[in-house]
Amino acid sequence: MELNKKVDQLKEDLVKSTQEIVKIKSVEGEPKDGMPFGEDVNNALKCALDISKKLGFKTVNMNGYVGYAEYGEGDDYVAVLGHLDVVPEGNGWKYPAYGAEIHDGKVYGRGTMDDKGPIMTALYGLKAIKDCNLPLSKRVRVIFGTNEETGSKELEYYNAHEKAPISGFTPDAEYPIIYGEKGITIFDVVKDLNNKGCGEVVVKHIKGGERANMVPDYCEAEVEAKNADSVVKAVKEFAEKTGFNLTTKVNNNNITIISKGIGAHGSLPELGKNAVMQLFALLETMPLGKCDLADYVSFFNKHVGFETDGKSFGVALEDKESGKLTFNVGTISMDETKISLSLNLRYPVTYKYDDMMNPFNKTISGTGMRVKNMSAQDPLFFPPDHPTIKTLQKVYKEQTGKEPKLLAIGGGTYAKEMKNIVAFGPIFPGQVDLDHQANEYMEIDDLVANAKIYAHAIYELAK
């Protein structure tokens, strides 16, 4: 417990360093020479390396892409991987988003929890090891990423220039330990509209949803009808029958139909209400006539509807490690020439990409639809008896007294971007996840608790 005592002694310094780096607004900006993600992100990287230098560590700045603090000797190294870039602050803050003010024992600010606070706790955990002169057989690197929120391009650079760590963790998720992350795909399903509408109601355009990885809470269609009143009446009756939030705005023969749903993260689509699919359900009841759009709408109502597990699409994969595949219809755009839905499918950890996409492609074959703009990330899965998993379980149990349960999640963490890394902390079970929210904060007690856990974890992995 010598390490814990040392962390307690470093507490004041840890809090100050966390405040110092949170005060830098490190949202991605225009690239400049030696600053691939903009000046603000670069300032945060310089700040982290300056803090590391003051603590007595060797530091390296890899051309502004990524930096690290290093301690110890040996061919192999253990890594702690965090990031200094943040998402924009948005509105609704009760304290300044970059003020790093302390209120009620909490440090408030964008990045306190995601991920500046946690990576500082790991750095100070390593400082405690250094100050205690504990013998290590491997080097330790605390790696400061700079582009996690917008593509992790900095780690492509790191991985191209450096060998991978032999083990390590990223403090950018939750406790106890995340041993599995589903495979993630985002892609469009596009159909050309050659056969135009010829029914009593003609759809001019549809738009809705913000991003593929969110359940859309808003969608609207502009339609033209000879009898606008009958459309308004039909929408009202359908809304009453289904309980969907559907409304209309009339401008002569043009009617805008508005569908409102409930947003949710694309990895948990069952928690939302899909505004796009509500609109599709309505459109199928309307006299659109025989046309490509009607076929497309009908196809998605039949094969998706309000399911979130891909069952009717023929892609309902499931395993005991991570549960069911999730299927989210995220955005829609339709104009006179084509219609496109963007989908976010996340498949269980023990399956492969083709296990999902082969049946998916079979379902759309012969429909004139095509898959475009595919972005795919393989699942991440560590066997429960993997040495890194076992070590982190031991540390978590010893430091918290709680059961080190293994979690498999639908979201993707930084662990997917570097070999031999798992997600470990910093959010404790039962705590609110304030990542990307207004009034993001980290409790000072949690900064200290994390520094202790990470000190022991680094020591156990590198001793």
Helices 444-462 and 2-22 sit at what angle, rounded to 10 degrees?
120
Where helices occur in 284-332 by DSSP H, the ranges are: 292-303
How far is Cα 244 from Cα 279, in angstroms, rounded to an integer?
9
Of 102, 80, 78, 94, nearest to 22 (Cα)?
102
Of 127, 283, 286, nearest to 200 (Cα)?
286
With contact defined as beta carbons under 8 Å apart, do 309 and 316 qualify? yes
Q: Confirm whether 85 is a catalytic residue.
A: yes
In sequence order, what are the residues at sequence separation of 6 or more whose Cβ sits closer than 8 angstroms to the Cβ of residue 304? 277, 312, 313, 327, 329
How far is Cα 313 from Cα 297, in angstroms, rounded to an integer?
14
Query: Which of 89, 114, 148, 292 is an active site residue?
Result: 148
DSSP state letters, 213-272 = TEE-SEEEEEEEES-HHHHHHHHHHHHHHH--EEEEEEETTEEEEEEE-B-EETT-GGGS
With contact defined as beta carbons under 8 Å apart, do 429 and 176 qualify? yes
Query: Which of 28, 85, 89, 440 is an active site residue?
Result: 85
* Cis amide linkage into residue 379, ω under 30° from 0: no
First to last CA, the chain: 16
Q: Confirm whether 2 is a catalytic residue.
A: no
How far is Cα 4 from Cα 451, in angstroms, rounded to an integer?
8
Active site residues: 85, 148
